[in-house]
Structure 1
Amino acid sequence: MNSFFNPVIDTSEIARRIESIKVDSPLQHMWADEQFHILKHYIQEFEQSLDDEHEVGILMTNFGQSVLMQVTEVTYENPVILVFKGFVNEREATLIQHINQLNFLLTTIKKESNRPKRQIGFTLNINEDK
């Protein structure tokens, strides 16, 4: 008669232990929310260096064209999308950008004299647990 040992394995205990392991993976830092916080730091630092007559603009170059955007809001959608809202040539505009394609120049735009200086709003994704 052939007998073998068949242990009883508590898979729920294994799953609980695996979930309790905290891993700081490099991939975690490649998500849009991490890139959002890095961009927020650089944009706010640049914004603070400006006088009262200038606002932050971003100069983007794609497909051989350059576009100057006056940014009013930045948000994100994990895992890989950043969203820039603002104005291009005095018209409302939204740029939806994959994080691997982020490449722009922070620059200054002279603010309109008849309104207060705008600051860029940074909106966290409310669906994220951050």
Structure 2
Amino acid sequence: MDSEIQTSAEAYEGDALPRLREVHSDPDRKGCDDIVLPEKMKTSVKTKSPAQWAYERIILYIKNFEEQLDNEHEVAMGFTGGNTGILKIEGMGYFDPDIVTFYGTDQNGIKTQLIQHVSQLTVMLRALPKQVDQAEPNRIGFRLAQELNGDET
């Protein structure tokens, strides 16, 4: 039990800061709670729209998922709630206050975009074999995380 005394302002701010906890059956598996939060995520969640907050957290999950992939696989997203297939994630964004969007291609190579309201947001990450003619796999999570660290390129 923490015996540190907090002012009401510190308690209020602490309640608004992001918290994350994961437990896995493999104790050596790296979870998102093992990473240091990027600077843009260390601010109060009360200053962000639901769309921005969902966008930032999904970036961390995508990056963590990619870190566990070999060089023969890339991250893709499986759709839930129907037989609509998968989307190879090539981009991601949000539109305040409550829309998150994913850009990519489906399993047939057709350009695809998913637009989702945050109240309906369910994302399933999948490992998809990379293109045969591609030397290195695409790592969208690493590019997205650069923005969260303030390295906008």
* The two structures share one fold, judged by TM-score above 0.5: yes
Contact 1:86 1:93 in 2 (8 A): yes
1:69 matched to 2:87? yes
User: Residue 74 of structure 1 aligns to a residue in which SS?
Assistant: strand
Q: Which has the larger radius of gyration?
A: 1
Deviating above 4 A after TM superposition, structure 1's stretches of 4 or more consecutive aligned residues are: 24-30
TM-score (norm 2): 0.59
Is 1:97–2:119 an aligned residue pair?
A: no
CA contact (8 A) 1:84 1:96 kept: yes
Tell me the number of residue pairs that the alignment of Structure 1 and Structure 2 aligns: 101
2:49/2:96 contact within 8 Å kept? no
Aligned to 1:65, the other structure's residue is in SS state coil
Map of 1:5 onto structure 2: none
1:1-130 map, 5 Å: 31-62=50-81, 64-88=82-106, 89-115=108-134, 116-120=136-140, 121-122=143-144
Question: What is the RMSD of the two structures over their aligned residues, measured on CA atoms?
Answer: 2.3
Contact 2:92 2:103 in 1 (8 A): yes
Higher helix share: 2
- If the length of structure 1 is used for normalisation, what is the TM-score? 0.68
Distance in 1, matches of 2:97 and 2:60, equals 20
1:29: how far off? 5.7
2:31: which partner in 1? none
In the TM superposition, what is the alpha-carbon distance from 1:28 to its structure 2 partner?
A: 5.0
**Alignment check: 8 A CA contact 1:33 1:76 kept:** yes
Structure 1, gaps ≥5 residues long:
1-21, 125-130
- Structure 2 unmatched ranges of 5 or more: 1-12, 17-43, 148-153
Q: State whether residues 55 and 110 of structure 1, in contact with CA within 8 Å, keep that contact through their aligned partners in structure 2.
A: yes
